[in-house]
Amino acid sequence: MSDRISLDSLYELLDRSFDYLLVVDQEQTVLHLNRAFGELMGCSGAGAGGCSSLADIIKPDALPRFQEAMEQVAAGERGVVVYWKIKDDRPPIIFKVGYVERPAGALYLFRSSLATDVADLSLKSDWEKIERAKELACLYSVAEWIHDSTSIAEFFEELPRFLSPGLHYPEHVRVQAIYKGIIFGERPVGDQLLRSELKVGDEVVGTIEVGYDREDLEVLPEEQKLLDEIGRFLCLALERKSLATSLEAKQEEADEYSRQMATLRDEVEKSTQELKEQRAKLDKVNSYLDRVHQGLEDSKRTLQTMFAAIPDTVALIDQDLNIVMTNQAEDLGGHPCYKALLGLDDPCLDCRLKKVQKTKAPVIQEVRHGDTYYLAHAMPVFGKQHEIEGIIEYFQDITYQKTYEQQLQQADKLASLGQLVSGIGHEINNPNQFIRGNVKIIQQALEGMLPIVDEYYKDHPDLKIARLKYDFFRQHIMTLVQDMANGSERIKRIVESLKGFARKDEGLLVDRVDINNVIEESARLVHNQVHKFADISLDLGEGIPLFRGNAQKLEQVLINLVINASQAMPDDVRGEIRISSRRDGEWVEVKVADNGSGMSETTLKNIFDPFFTTKRARGGTGLGLSIAFRIMEEHGGHISVNSALGEGTTFTLRMPLEKKDEEAGQEQESPEKEG
């Protein structure tokens, strides 16, 4: 034949023969797309509307099936694609795939007719035809059931009925589905299983396992593809819409009911147990009182009068560690001694009653309750048979003596610390002096050497120094050397500050005090201790005159205030400590403010009292603010505080610029101002 049919004429012929037609080349470029399929996919034709490649037309989850069919027909096999377009409520489209080689490149033809029947698909054998027909029929029925089922529970409960006809041994099929922890169906026997994960987004929400009830029956690879296809259908359905889940709603209601019943049961049991314990305590107290009532009423009144007159806490305790009577105004009878007197939930580890029962002799023992120290005296109470029936215990408050001992120890530690800091400062300054001198030499040497290396680098652009490219090395080396010099200077200043703070203080107000310098030195000394809890910010006024005072004592006051502020920060909040200074007429004013926990009215009333502390458990002595108050009085100034719970605290220090001596009725000349 001399005349050849043009490719466009051929496409026109094929368009009239098939409802859906798609032609791509071996690069998966769309060469032809008929109008019906283009409208279905939202494309107006090949190369238009963004449909120039197979990936532009087919959904990502279905694209691998089309590509696999292309490989099959290129290898000489028959290719069939079942395509389910989830946004369309119609059944899946079944494409037959054709293949032809030509000099310009291979062509792949995807064609489908709405009238195509499953039985019309030509595969390798009759048996394969039957199996593929069963699989496609199964896909139809499962897909239809996905749309018809009203809940996830209903879908999984009926899934075996729809899935079984698509497998090789339908009468032996077992299907088990797990969705969000809920199990449906029966698990297959043996290890021959088909398995598919169910995902919504990136989350695995369940699995489907399919097999048989006999170990001698094997699943087929094609059946895994069937289950994967069903899994894809279901995942798409789960992503597109949320099925009504009556089972989950009922389960949630049952769980809530169970929780309420469990809570109610626990409350009833707890109340019953408390009633039993109260009844037992009451019975025990009544029994004891009944035994001692006869003939002892006058003695009891006398004993109670004596109890009430004793300033220390006195208690009569029975063998079960319960208080029989006490001289406290609060009625503690029948309560365990360790809870009523010491606030403990369990008996003391070194229980005095047990020691008295063992030795039958008095016991004296030191006891701590919160920030208070007691000397506990326990004396045995004997019965008629010389058995121990209990003890009489009284507590002597020795907090003042204990605190005094601790202050003596602390003073000794501070004295030793001063000597130690002075020695360490000397040892640090010696090697640091070498560092400072050597850094200057290195800096000068580099300034002379680098121009020479720059000239060498022009002819050797691959030059590296210290495994770094020379241009990067050249840019940063002087900055690094300067950082070393700055660090060495910082070490020197810190050591000098420590030595200054640790030196022996003669207590005289003879210094010319630069308050801004005192603030900066104090902030530097406490930086490492405070920065874990809070940031320190300084707002220092300008032009504040020097005044006569004791710089070391003022430094001690500021350090104490800053450390206290850092310890007042809540655990879950990083705080801020603001230190400001200014001149207010003839006064110098310094404020230390924080945004910590604040103080109650009771604490504010006692904060400057000696030995008063809210931090005794953490080593607080209660002397810091008392000493600060005295130091401010020595300077002719005063310290005040403003605080509110949950809002923070502000301490204000005010010192006169001129200190006057009025003891002899004469004014001393104020020191000459510097600067």
Question: If you write DSSP's letter for every residue of 628-675 in order, what string do you get?
Answer: HHHHHHHTT-EEEEEEETTTEEEEEEEEESS----TTS-PPPPPPPP-
618: CATH: 3.30.565.10
Question: How far out from the chain centre does Cα 250 lie?
Answer: 34
**Residue 662 pLDDT more than 70?**
no
Q: Where are the alpha helices (DSSP H) in 460-550?
A: 470-502, 515-530
Q: Which residue has the higher pLDDT, 453 or 292?
A: 453
State whether 643 and 514 are in the same domain: yes
Final residue in a domain of this structure, among 481, 500, 519? 500
The mean pLDDT of 233-258, rounded to a whole number, is 64
Containing domain of residue 576, as a range? 505-656
Q: Which residue has the higher pLDDT, 52 or 653?
A: 653
State whether 383 and 332 are in the same domain: yes
In a domain, 255, yes or no: no
**Residue 97 pLDDT more than 80?**
yes
pLDDT per position as a tens digit, 556-579: 899 889 988 888 888 778 899 999
The mean pLDDT of 139-165, rounded to a whole number, is 76
Q: If you average pLDDT over each of 156-170, 317-331, 638-652, which comes out highest?
A: 638-652
The mean pLDDT of 462-482, rounded to a whole number, is 87
Q: List b or e across 239-259, with b for residues whose CB sees 16 or more CB atoms inside 10 angstroms.
A: eeeeeebebeeeeeeeeeeee
How far, in Å, are 274, 313, 451, 471 from residue 475 at the CA level?
Answer: 77, 76, 13, 6
The mean pLDDT of 306-318, rounded to a whole number, is 72
**Residue 260 pLDDT more than 70?**
yes
The mean pLDDT of 300-327, rounded to a whole number, is 73
State whether 534 and 636 are in the same domain: yes
Name which of 151-155, 198-202, 407-411 the model is least confident about: 407-411
- pLDDT of 122 reads 40
Q: Which residue has the higher pLDDT, 517 or 19?
A: 517
- pLDDT of 666 reads 39
State whether 521 and 461 are in the same domain: no
The mean pLDDT of 616-644, rounded to a whole number, is 79
- pLDDT of 409 reads 59
Instruction: Grade residue 31 by pLDDT with cuts at 50, 70 and 90.
Output: confident
133 sits in which H/E element: helix 126-148
Final residue in a domain of this structure, among 380, 397, 414? 397
**Residue 118 pLDDT more than 50?**
no
Q: How far apart are CA 184 and CA 153, in angstroms?
A: 8
136 sits in which H/E element: helix 126-148
Name which of 53-67, 70-84, 177-191, 513-527 the model is least confident about: 70-84
Residue 585 corresponds to which tokens in the numbers above?
């007429």
In a domain, 662, yes or no: no
How many structural domains are present in the chain? 5
The mean pLDDT of 578-586, rounded to a whole number, is 93
State whether 648 and 519 are in the same domain: yes
Q: Which residue has the higher pLDDT, 305 or 32?
A: 32
The mean pLDDT of 195-211, rounded to a whole number, is 85
Q: Which phi and psi (to 5°) does residue 640 adopt?
A: -135, 165
In a domain, 543, yes or no: yes
**Residue 180 pLDDT more than 80?**
yes
Count CA within 13 A, CB hemisphere, residue 232: 19
- pLDDT of 124 reads 41
- pLDDT of 2 reads 39
Of residues 547, 551, 526, 550, the one with CA closest to residue 538: 526
State whether 88 and 141 are in the same domain: no
State whether 560 and 467 are in the same domain: no
The mean pLDDT of 166-184, rounded to a whole number, is 85
Q: What percentage of residues in the chain have a pLDDT greater than 90? A: 9
**Residue 671 pLDDT more than 50?**
no
Residue whose structure tokens are 């000794």: 412
In a domain, 327, yes or no: yes
Of residues 438, 418, 379, the one with CA closest to residue 501: 418
388: CATH: 3.30.450.20
Final residue in a domain of this structure, among 244, 264, 292? 244
In a domain, 278, yes or no: no
**Residue 602 pLDDT more than 50?**
yes
Tally the residues of the chain.
675
- pLDDT of 366 reads 76
**Residue 657 pLDDT more than 80?**
yes
Q: How far apart are CA 286 and CA 78, in angstroms?
A: 98
DSSP per position, 205-241:
EEEEEEEESSTT----HHHHHHHHHHHHHHHHHHHH-
- pLDDT of 505 reads 54
- pLDDT of 127 reads 53
**Residue 309 pLDDT more than 80?**
no
State whether 513 and 494 are in the same domain: no
State whether 374 and 344 are in the same domain: yes
**Residue 612 pLDDT more than 50?**
yes
Cα torsion 293, 294, 296, 297 to 10°: value is 60
State whether 512 and 468 are in the same domain: no
Q: How far apart are CA 472 and CA 483, in angstroms?
A: 17
pLDDT per position as a tens digit, 413-442: 555 565 566 667 667 877 877 788 888 888
The mean pLDDT of 371-385, rounded to a whole number, is 78
In a domain, 290, yes or no: no
**Residue 619 pLDDT more than 60?**
no
**Residue 71 pLDDT more than 80?**
yes
pLDDT per position as a tens digit, 487-503: 787 777 677 666 655 55
The amino acid at residue 263 is T
Query: What does the mean pLDDT of the chain come to?
Result: 77
State whether 579 and 597 are in the same domain: yes
In a domain, 231, yes or no: yes
pTM, to two decimals: 0.34
In a domain, 281, yes or no: no
State whether 140 and 83 are in the same domain: no
Instruction: Grade residue 516 by pLDDT with cuts at 50, 70 and 90.
Output: very high
pLDDT per position as a tens digit, 335-374: 887 777 777 888 887 788 888 878 878 878 777 776 677 7
